[in-house]
Amino acid sequence: MTALRARCCLGAVLFSAAALADFGDPLSGLSDADLARFTAGKAEFVAVEEVDEGLGPVFNEASCATCHTGPGTAIGGTTQRQEIRFGRIRPDGSFDPLAELGGSLRQDQAIAGFLPEVVPPEATVFSGRRTQPLFGLGLVDATPETTFYVLAFIQSVLKPSIAGTPSVVSDPSTGRTNALGKFGWKAQVPSLFVFSGDAYLNEMGITNPLFPNENCPQGNCAALADNPVPTLNDDGTGVVLFNDFMTLLGPPPRGPRNFFTGYGNIVAAVVGCLDCHVQTLRTGPNAVPALDEVTYHPFSDFLLHDMGSLGDGITQNRATGGLMRTQPLWGLRTQTRLLHDGRATTIKDAILAHDGQGAAARHAFKNLGDFDRAALLAFLNSL
């Protein structure tokens, strides 16, 4: 009974703390200097890039906030904007991103004098990619790599059928070739700093020290002869500001909870949802007090899992077509479309689409009684 009372009291404290925050707020407890960094970063995040600043020649949006807004007017979420990745499967079964034809990411807008990219007829694989919320990702970035390797090891011992795989990637900011990827649908990005530079180039066409080479429109590098700003577009200042905003952006506030959602949390553990959607993680030592050894609840292991038919068919780094990173569930209640391509419009539909290593949890969900299933869905709708 003592443990139960303590757990209930802890839940009440967490609910009170969440009630003080809102989507898009900075981490609580920031110093004046860090709050100033957050504010400056947010201003750059919402700014609209212009052609004379290097926008394009091909791009997806002219501002980060165009995709990363919501719920409501909160900055840092998602508008559910979808982009397209494409490629083809070679005769030997390997994946060809069709880089010579503009792949694997289609840039669907262009500045004057250029044409937006299209999926070429040579592509045999293409998939929508839904823009992901950024709330709380500074906590993930501040979590030691060893945490995720330990999670993968524990899964391999206790639940080998669903064991995740760490995503090993190259880090252009450090030169490491064995960095751990934690961000993106394929866990293809190792840090928010690299994510910032990558998005600046691939989403807005802004070259920067991390990614200095312009994307060739539809793969035609000769077209860059007409690029109006052929020099380096950003000296690195913008990348730092984007990184500051995302690093210091607070996690999603938790929704209302009660006994029913608490019981649903137990059901989620029993049916296996929380084997991959790991509920609680902890950051390591950090110079920012608000990120220093902080416990948080993202509901993800940030590892790659083979999702079978739910994979997108795209290979990035070592993440082949069926492998997808476990999507964090915090903030789930605000999402109107789910899964990487937005195919699901309800949480129930998203669960029923799980395949591969997620199939066992799907079957367990289908076999639940009405009360248990309703409790599980109520719990998920409280995240």
Give me the domain span that covers residue 24.
2-380
User: Residue 159 and residue 106: Cα distance in Å, rounded?
Assistant: 38
**Residue among 21, 3, 54, 36 at smallest CA distance from 228:** 54
Q: Is the CB of residue 381 less than 8 Å from the CB of residue 332?
A: yes
Sequence letter at residue 119: V
pLDDT in tens, the chain (383 residues): 223 233 333 333 333 333 458 999 999 999 999 999 999 999 999 999 999 999 999 999 999 999 999 999 999 999 999 999 999 999 999 999 999 999 999 999 999 999 999 999 999 999 999 999 999 999 999 999 999 999 999 999 999 999 999 999 999 999 999 999 999 999 999 999 999 999 999 999 999 999 999 999 999 999 999 999 999 999 999 999 999 999 999 999 999 999 999 999 999 999 999 999 999 999 999 999 999 999 999 999 999 999 999 999 999 999 999 999 999 999 999 999 999 999 999 999 999 999 999 999 999 999 999 999 999 999 999 99
Identify the burial level of 92 via C-beta atoms within 10 angstroms of its C-beta, where 0-12 means exposed, 13-18 middle and 19 or more buried.
exposed
- How many domains is the chain built from? 1
Q: Is the CB of residue 133 less than 8 Å from the CB of residue 144?
A: no
What is the model's pTM? Answer: 0.93
What pLDDT is recorded for position 21?
Answer: 84
What pLDDT is recorded for position 18?
Answer: 36
What pLDDT is recorded for position 89?
Answer: 97
